């Protein structure tokens, strides 16, 4: 593949812009500048530097982000900064066959909710991870306003009715680590679901953090606002079918 085309697929601008970057000596591979935009290279595993920024070539982008509080999962935020401002420009500008460029968040977290967020430009992966039909478990660490008792946990496991659906919504797992802490596992993604479920059992969410999606846990060394590429193994693990409860 031509170098200018590789840069284009990675989000470094139009093909004309990418050709200009190469011709002006802004692109280097293994420490040596490459000035021919039509240099034929294998994109698989290719690493290069653009204007001092190191980059690894990925056919599709799969990322994890530690969402900080006070950010919105929207391209056009209304009140708080967008999570997309935490990503480098190429990830926001990667060409896409759809109307929206760049990576997209898989589902949303409220502005005051922190924790693990996945982003990708792979439409099939977005559907797989976001569809309630696939029952991908998501684990939330809940700080409650009032002490959590066994009766509340029993109700959450048995199912509570939310105001927009007569069908009960159940927690896949629920355990209390301390009087005000609850670890809640859900396989659906209804609007404000955790907050509404806690309200349905007479409690209130004071703090909410997503710690795990499927078999992927938020790494301890990934600080709020930081992101990293998912490994091929992590992507494969997330793609794997979720075992159904007996």
Q: Which residues contact 85 (CB under 8 A, 6 or more apart)?
A: none
Quote the DSSP letter at residue 168: E
Alpha carbon distance 97, 230 (integer Å): 22
Q: Which residues are identified as catalytic?
A: 110
Largest interatomic CA distance in the chain: 69
Q: Decide if 224 contacts 216 (C-beta within 8 A).
A: no
Q: Which residues contact 121 (CB under 8 A, 6 or more apart)?
A: 60, 61, 94, 96, 102, 103, 104
Alpha carbon distance 172, 156 (integer Å): 9
Rounded to a whole number of angstroms, the CA Rg of the chain reads: 21
- Cβ count near 213 (within 10 Å): 21
Alpha carbon distance 85, 225 (integer Å): 10
Alpha carbon distance 22, 151 (integer Å): 65
Tokens of 170: 């159940």
- List residues bridging with 72 in a β-sheet: 82
């Amino acid at each position: 593949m031509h170098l200018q085309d590789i840069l284009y697929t990675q989000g470094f601008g139009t093909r004309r812009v990418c050709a200009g970057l190469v011709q002006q000596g802004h692109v280097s591979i293994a420490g040596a500048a490459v000035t021919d935009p039509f240099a034929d290279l294998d994109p698989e595993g290719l690493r290069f530097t653009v204007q001092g920024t190191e980059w690894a070539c990925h056919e599709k982008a799969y990322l994890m982000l530690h969402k900080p509080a006070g950010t919105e999962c929207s391209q056009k935020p209304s009140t708080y900064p967008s999570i997309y401002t935490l990503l480098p420009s190429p990830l926001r500008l990667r060409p896409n066959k759809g109307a929206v460029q760049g990576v997209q968040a898989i589902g949303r977290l409220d502005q005051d909710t922190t924790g693990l967020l996945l982003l990708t430009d792979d439409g099939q992966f977005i559907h797989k991870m976001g569809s309630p039909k696939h029952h991908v478990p998501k684990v939330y660490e809940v700080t409650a306003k009032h002490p959590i008792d066994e009766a509340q946990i029993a109700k959450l496991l048995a199912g509570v009715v939310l105001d927009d659906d007569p069908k009960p919504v159940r927690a896949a797992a629920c355990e209390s680590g301390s009087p005000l802490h609850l670890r809640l596992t859900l396989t659906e993604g209804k609007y404000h679901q955790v907050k509404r479920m806690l309200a349905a059992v007479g409690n209130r969410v004071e703090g909410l953090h997503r710690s795990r999606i499927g078999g992927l846990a938020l790494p301890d060394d990934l600080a709020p606002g930081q992101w990293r590429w998912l490994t091929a193994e992590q992507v494969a693990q997330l793609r794997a079918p979720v075992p159904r409860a007996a």
